């Protein structure tokens, strides 16, 4: 990896994290629920974006460097599966087992579906 790519990767990761912080706050202001809706929304939209980027790389010629900066950098900073895991554990600790299961399984299913949809959308449009 070149020094320039590493700098772009770090900058994109920082921008992704800032976007996640802002969006998380906006969602939490509007919807106060036991289920961590903000984290779910962030991970699903991030997975969709990763799918779109992967599709652009596979089918539309997006260079590997840009795929790395956008998917690993921006989306890596934006998505937060570690927070999803902690929130699931907290739901279990709060005796919210059905919500914990829904959060864990729902997050996995929705994010995989979103990534697949992103790839399919690019494949379909090219």
Give tens-digit pLDDT for 34-50. Answer: 999 999 999 999 999 99
Instruction: Please give the span between the terminal C-alpha atoms of the chain, in angstroms, as a whole number.
Output: 29
The contacts of residue 37 (CB under 8 Å, 6+ apart) are 27, 31
| pLDDT (tens digit per residue) in 23-36 | 999 999 999 999 99
Tell me, what's the pLDDT at 1?
74
Q: What is the 3-state secondary structure (H, E, C) of 35-55?
A: CCHHHHHHHHHHHHHHHHHHH
Q: What is the pTM of this model?
A: 0.94
pLDDT of 86 above 80: yes
Q: Which of 63, 64, 40 is nearest to 113 (CA)?
A: 40
Q: How confident is the model at residue 2 (pLDDT cuts 50, 70, 90)?
A: confident
Mean per-residue pLDDT, 99-121: 98
Q: What is the pLDDT of residue 117?
A: 98
What are the residue boundaries of the structural domains of the chain, listed by start? 3-125
Q: What is the mean pLDDT of residues 57-86?
A: 97
């Amino acid at each position: 990896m070149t020094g320039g790519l590493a700098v772009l990767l770090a900058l994109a990761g920082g921008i992704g994290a800032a976007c996640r912080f802002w969006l998380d706050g906006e969602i939490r202001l509007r919807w106060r629920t036991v289920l961590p809706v903000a984290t779910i929304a962030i991970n699903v939209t991030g997975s969709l974006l990763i799918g779109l980027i992967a599709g652009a790389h596979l089918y539309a010629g997006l260079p590997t460097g840009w795929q790395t900066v956008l998917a690993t950098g921006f989306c890596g900073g934006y998505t937060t599966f570690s927070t999803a895991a902690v929130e699931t554990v907290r739901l279990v600790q709060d005796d919210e087992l059905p919500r914990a299961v829904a959060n864990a399984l729902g997050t996995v299913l929705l994010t995989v579906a979103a990534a697949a949809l992103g790839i399919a959308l690019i494949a379909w449009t090219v």
